[in-house]
Amino acid sequence: MAEHALNCEQSAAETVRGSAAPTRATPAPREPARVRGGWKQHIARQLKHRDQRQHALFQGLISIYTNLMEKTTLTKRFSICAVRPLEADCSSDSLRCESDQLKKTTGELAYKVLELQKQLKTHDCFLEKQQASLVEVQQDVVVVEVSRQELRAQVEQLEERNQVLKREYDALLERRQGAEHSFMKEDARGSQLLVDIIYVKKQAAAHMNTCNERKSRAREAKLQKELQTATRSMVSIDSPLSAPSSRATSPTKKSQEVAAEKGHTRLFRSVSATSPRILSTIRELFERKRRGHSTSSLEEELYFPPRICICARVPARALQVLDAHEEGINAVKFRSNSDLLATGGTDRVVKLWEVRAGTLNYKGTLDGPTEGITSVEFDPMGMRVLAASYDKSAILWRLDDSIPKLTLTGHRRKVTAARFSRDPHHVVTGSLDRTVRLWDLQRAACVQVVDVSSCCSDLVCSESCIISGHYDSKIRIWDTRSVRSMEGWSSPGKVTSLDISSDHRQLLSCCRDDCLQLMDLRWSNDTLCFRAEGFKCGSDSTKAVFSPDGSFLAAGSADGAVYIWKVSSGNLETRLPDGHSASVSAVSWSVSGDYVVSVDKRRRAVLWSDF
């Protein structure tokens, strides 16, 4: 019976081996190796397939193991039943050994089954994690793909905008080139028109001068003829009509009788030569000849003599501080009789101020320039104002009219200085276009042009000479009769202003190297430099002036103070620190010597005196 059970057990084991072996050897059906949803989905499908395949393998093993256990239980029962009747034949030791061997074999199989189940659970957990990671990665891929599409759309939009901007830029570039070409043509045409206008004006002026000279010669010839005719005419005067005024001039009775006997009459100079008609004709002729086509009237020709300054008074304090303009002030000038002051600034107007009892009283405004004012000056008669402007012109006003009387155009860059020459009908201008021009106010035309190698910053007039200061640190003297440079001086720095003494013997220049240079016009080598601690030239247009008696020099500094030097000693006489909060641009000393006015770049004007 035991042998039968043992045989049954062996047959069952063989059956298990036979059934398990083909189960392991049987290959699972494989899916075609084609990727349907990408490599990630392919990996997921492979993992699922492996799980199913291994599960199927273990399912067969478990079913075989269950059958084996059932068979073992039946065999044990059969063996117990068989052992009881055959206790005599079979010893207990052999049965116990067989039972232990069966238990050992069954335990090993159960342990292997548990180990395989644990591995199966581990693989299931790993597979779940891989599946979750795969889902997350797929979601990230979707998000990244959406972002990529959005960025590509933005790139396409930017490319379209760039294309549009490039087309617009090309169109603007073509328009700019066309505009530049047109501008160059118009500029050349304007230059040619200016040359033609100047030539036509010169021709017209020459023709007018010829006609005027011809008419003047004709009038003079006619007048000479009338005078000669009146001189030759004879007048007979009878003795009753003669009324002797003195004993020396009255004829005696004897001489009258002798003359009567001879039948002669006495010759006298015709009274027509001194008649009121002839005198009025001569007066009108000379008045017309003197006035000609001048911009000034007889009323302007009247000369108001200035007050004579015997000794200038050094100012000590500020009498008045006011905001004279809306913007910075560049120029200031007293009239010859010291009762009127003119200021010009970057607000494009010239303002007139009446000096009365130590105060500046606003009197009027002169309009006209389209840009800022660089310099102002009164004519010798004090009835006209001349100003230079940034708008490449010089403007002339009458004091009784705020509208410009005359505008002198022809410079190509801003005019830095405009001065009356010794002849009140001529004006000299200097510009940054490196030219100095002489203008005839009667003809309103430029009569001389002097080309210079450097920009002109300021100029003054003396007799038949023009003295100009330049940015190349040179001071040049020009002879207006020959239009040539006679001589010049070298300055320590860029020249910002010039002023000439009242006796026309000394020349004052202000330089950018923070010094004033004084030159004697009679001795070209005699120069003096005036410096002071703290004095700094604030700009390329800072103005320095003489006192009316020539004893002092005054200039404004970049620190807002006014410095005054004494000429005889060369030392600083005084420093006026109060009144300005910005760089002082110009100073003017009244001809009477009583007042000094300074202006700065922040529209402020200060009246100084020692009262």
Domain boundary among 112, 130, 158: 158
Q: For 137-151, what is the mean pLDDT?
A: 93
Higher pLDDT, 385 or 236: 385
Q: For 533-543, what is the mean pLDDT?
A: 92
**DSSP H helical ranges for 417-472:** none
**Within-domain flag for 33:** no
Contact residues for 564 (Cβ-Cβ < 8 A; gap 6+): 314, 315, 552, 553, 554, 572, 573, 574, 575, 576
**Within-domain flag for 79:** yes
Contact residues for 285 (Cβ-Cβ < 8 A; gap 6+): 219, 220, 223
301: pLDDT strictly greater than 60: no
Distance from C-alpha of 568 to C-alpha of 548, rounded to nearest angstrom:
15
pLDDT for the residue numbered 111: 80
Instruction: Give tens-digit pLDDT for 70-105.
Output: 777 777 766 665 555 545 455 556 656 666 666 676
109: pLDDT strictly greater than 50: yes
Structural contact between residues 476 and 435, judged by C-beta atoms closer than 8 angstroms: no
Instruction: Give tens-digit pLDDT for 553-571.
Output: 999 999 999 999 999 999 9
Domain boundary among 158, 179, 200: 158
50: pLDDT strictly greater than 50: yes
415: pLDDT strictly greater than 90: yes
Distance from C-alpha of 458 to C-alpha of 468, rounded to nearest angstrom:
6
**Within-domain flag for 540:** yes
pLDDT for the residue numbered 300: 41
Instruction: Give tens-digit pLDDT for 32-49.
Output: 444 445 788 888 888 888
**Within-domain flag for 588:** yes
Domain boundary among 158, 177, 197: 158
Helix then strand count (H, E) for the chain reads: 6, 28
Identify the CATH number of the domain in which residue 549 sits.
2.130.10.10
Q: How far is C-alpha 473 from the chain's CA centre?
A: 26
Task: Give the model's confidence band at 417: pLDDT under 50 very low, under 70 low, under 90 confident, else very high.
Answer: very high
With a pLDDT cut of 70, the percent of the chain lying above it is 75
**Within-domain flag for 446:** yes
Task: Give the model's confidence band at 459: pLDDT under 50 very low, under 70 low, under 90 confident, else very high.
Answer: very high
CA atoms within 13 A on the CB side of 80: 5
For the record, the structure tokens of 183 come out as 């501008």
Instruction: Give tens-digit pLDDT for 476-516.
Output: 988 877 666 666 788 888 999 999 998 888 999 999 999 99
Distance from C-alpha of 370 to C-alpha of 393, rounded to nearest angstrom:
10
Query: Does residue 363 sit in helix, strand or coil?
Result: strand
pLDDT for the residue numbered 269: 37
Distance from C-alpha of 474 to C-alpha of 517, rounded to nearest angstrom:
12
Quick one: which of 545, 600, 593, 595 has its CA closest to 577?
600
CA atoms within 13 A on the CB side of 347: 18
Q: Whole-model pTM?
A: 0.53
Task: Give the model's confidence band at 258: pLDDT under 50 very low, under 70 low, under 90 confident, else very high.
Answer: very low
CA atoms within 13 A on the CB side of 23: 18
- The 10 Å Cβ neighbour count of residue 478 is 24
Query: Does residue 420 sit in helix, strand or coil?
Result: strand
DSSP state of 343: E
Instruction: Give tens-digit pLDDT for 335-362.
Output: 988 889 999 999 999 999 999 888 999 9
Total number of domains constituting the chain: 2
377: pLDDT strictly greater than 90: yes
Domain that holds residue 115: 2-26+38-158
Q: Please report, to the nearest 10 degrees, the dihedral formed by the alpha carbons of residues 109, 112, 116, 118 taken in order.
A: 120
pLDDT for the residue numbered 84: 56
Q: How far apart are the first and last CA of the chain?
A: 158
pLDDT for the residue numbered 91: 54
Q: For 279-302, what is the mean pLDDT?
A: 44
**Within-domain flag for 188:** no
Task: Give the model's confidence band at 419: pLDDT under 50 very low, under 70 low, under 90 confident, else very high.
Answer: very high
29: pLDDT strictly greater than 50: no
**Within-domain flag for 549:** yes
pLDDT for the residue numbered 103: 67
Query: Does residue 258 sit in helix, strand or coil?
Result: helix
**Within-domain flag for 376:** yes
177: pLDDT strictly greater than 70: yes
